């Protein structure tokens, strides 16, 4: 078979009918090649479906109303895209029924279980629309339920890939379609357990799905289409002057995503690195641009790269009897952090306390405090930001500290991290 490309389109690229048309134009340019397309849920749909899950699980009575809004949004796109939208609307209706069956009953399972069964429908909806529109445009495409390929364990909301089984399924289910000259349209973010329950791979996990498929098919290249020119040195919504990085090594990309850069899902790089598959981060509004290429290039010189993670907190954990925080205490704490899926961004251990910087997800932190029990005391500092500067210089660091109270700082050879709280502005009222 000729070299396979794997394309991933995020929610911003299919946020409306214009977006779907643009995606179809990009795909048409590459339709003569073996191509697998992974698409995320339509922009903001995942957030909306999360609202359905919360309302259903907390018995707030708004789940059906919230679902109706999602139906209307997708119907509006379908009506704008298709001359005769009846067939695609029927396909979408069948997917809504999967949610309606759940929310008609009282919750019996965990929140995470219902989250995966309901939120996963967003990707199924968008991929159905894209596949039907590609066919309407005259392209030979095949809709693939990725749950028939991506096999996972039963860890809902953060499922782990069963690699051997996924490899077998990808070869048997995707390769024959490509060999027949058809495009494959599938979903990101979701998988399936051995009992055929839907799982998800973590928020923004569609990049990871594309990487898994690229690995399993020995793809020639993987392409993530986004609303930015490529990988940038900082978030352009927060900084006026940012640079596009034309080349990145796998190592640098892994470091950036580990520290919170949102342009690529953190798990994405390793599967493609293992098979030396280049990854291109490209702008969907300028498809002729190569964007940023991530590959096994030798380490380059990079300008300062800034990553800001909002909604952070510091947890100061100490023993109630003021004994040292010993190895058995740390073992217990890390076990709980892993069980509750609380990612540690920074940490520091002293004789009588252990401090961690984590995402401020209230329900998980409440569970951690409860699980630590009476043996530990936990003090929380919230409303914080975690700022990471790769390849920092002192001028860049001083600029980012201005107007901030630094609560925690750590420096490595080429990386500095600071946990900060914004200081209130002092407005002078005297003449």
Q: For residue range 158-204, list pLDDT tens digits in order.
A: 899 999 999 999 999 999 999 999 999 999 999 999 999 999 998 77
What does the pLDDT read at residue 202?
A: 86
Whether 265 and 202 have beta carbons less than 8 Å apart is answered as yes
Placement of tokens 């590959």 in the chain: 295
Instruction: With a cut of 60, say whether residue 429 has pLDDT above it.
Output: no
Least confident segment among 56-60, 65-69, 129-133, 294-298: 294-298
Kindly state the average pLDDT of the residues 21-46. 96
What does the pLDDT read at residue 19?
A: 97
Task: Provide the percentage of residues in the chain whose pLDDT is more than 90.
Answer: 83
Kindly state the average pLDDT of the residues 76-87. 97
Least confident segment among 118-127, 170-179, 416-425: 416-425
Confidence bin at 323 (pLDDT 50/70/90): confident
| Cα dihedral sign, 186-35-279-286 | negative
Determine the Cα–Cα distance for residues 110 and 108; give it in Å rounded to an integer: 7
What does the pLDDT read at residue 366?
A: 94
Instruction: With a cut of 70, say whether residue 88 has pLDDT above it.
Output: yes
Element (H, E) at 112: helix 111-119
104-108, 299-303, 411-415: which is most confident: 104-108
Instruction: With a cut of 80, say whether residue 2 has pLDDT above it.
Output: no
Instruction: With a cut of 60, say whether residue 431 has pLDDT above it.
Output: no
Least confident segment among 34-43, 245-254, 318-327: 318-327
Tens digit of each residue's pLDDT (9 = 90 or more) over 260-304: 887 888 899 999 999 999 999 999 999 999 899 999 987 678 999
Whether 199 and 160 have beta carbons less than 8 Å apart is answered as no
Whether 259 and 246 have beta carbons less than 8 Å apart is answered as no
Q: Classify residue 415 as exposed, middle or buried by CB count within 10 Å of its CB (0-12, 13-18, 19+).
A: middle
Instruction: With a cut of 60, say whether residue 428 has pLDDT above it.
Output: no
Kindly state the average pLDDT of the residues 307-316. 95
Pairing between strand 183-187 and 247-249?
unpaired
What are the structural domains of the chain? 5-295 (3.40.1160.10), 305-422 (3.30.2130.10)
Q: What is the pTM of this model?
A: 0.89
Determine the Cα–Cα distance for residues 97 and 103; give it in Å rounded to an integer: 10
């Amino acid at each position: 078979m000729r070299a396979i490309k794997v394309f991933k389109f995020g929610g911003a690229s299919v946020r409306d009918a214009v977006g779907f048309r643009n995606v179809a134009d990009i795909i048409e340019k590459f339709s003569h090649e073996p191509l697998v397309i992974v698409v995320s849920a339509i922009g903001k749909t995942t957030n909306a479906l999360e609202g359905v899950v919360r309302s259903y699980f907390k018995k707030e009575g708004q789940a059906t109303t919230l679902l109706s809004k999602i139906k209307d949004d997708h119907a509006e796109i379908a009506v704008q895209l298709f001359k005769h939208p009846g067939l695609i609307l029927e396909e979408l209706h069948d997917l809504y029924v999967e949610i309606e069956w759940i929310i008609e009953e009282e919750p019996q399972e965990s929140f995470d279980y219902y989250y995966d069964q309901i939120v996963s429908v967003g990707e199924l909806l968008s991929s159905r629309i894209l596949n039907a529109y590609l066919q309407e445009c005259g392209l030979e495409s095949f809709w693939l339920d990725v749950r028939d390929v991506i096999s996972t364990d039963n860890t809902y909301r953060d499922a782990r890939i069963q690699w051997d089984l996924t490899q077998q399924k990808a070869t048997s289910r995707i390769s024959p379609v490509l060999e027949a000259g058809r495009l494959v349209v599938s979903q990101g973010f979701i998988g399936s357990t051995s009992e055929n329950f839907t799982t998800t791979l973590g928020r923004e996990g569609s990049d990871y799905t594309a990487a898994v498929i690229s690995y399993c098919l020995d793809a020639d290249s993987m392409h993530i289409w986004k609303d930015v020119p490529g990988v940038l040195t900082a978030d352009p919504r927060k900084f006026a002057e940012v640079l596009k990085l034309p080349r990145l090594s796998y190592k640098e990309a892994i470091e950036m995503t580990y520290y919170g850069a949102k342009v690529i899902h953190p798990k994405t790089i390793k599967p493609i690195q293992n098979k030396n598959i280049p990854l291109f981060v490209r702008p969907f509004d300028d498809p002729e641009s190569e964007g940023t290429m991530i590959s096994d290039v030798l380490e380059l010189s990079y300008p300062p790269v800034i990553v800001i993670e909002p909604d952070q907190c510091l947890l100061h954990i100490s023993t109630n009897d003021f004994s040292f925080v010993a190895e058995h205490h740390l073992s217990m704490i890390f076990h709980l952090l892993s069980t509750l899926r609380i990612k540690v961004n920074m940490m520091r251990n002293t004789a009588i306390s252990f401090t961690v910087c984590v995402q401020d997800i209230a329900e998980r932190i409440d569970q951690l405090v409860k699980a630590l029990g009476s043996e530990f005391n936990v003090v929380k500092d919230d409303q914080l930001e975690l700022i990471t500067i790769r390849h920092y210089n002192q001028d860049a660091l001083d600029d980012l500290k201005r107007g901030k109270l630094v609560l925690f700082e750590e420096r490595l050879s080429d990386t500095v991290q600071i946990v900060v709280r914004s200081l209130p502005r002092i407005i002078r009222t005297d003449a």
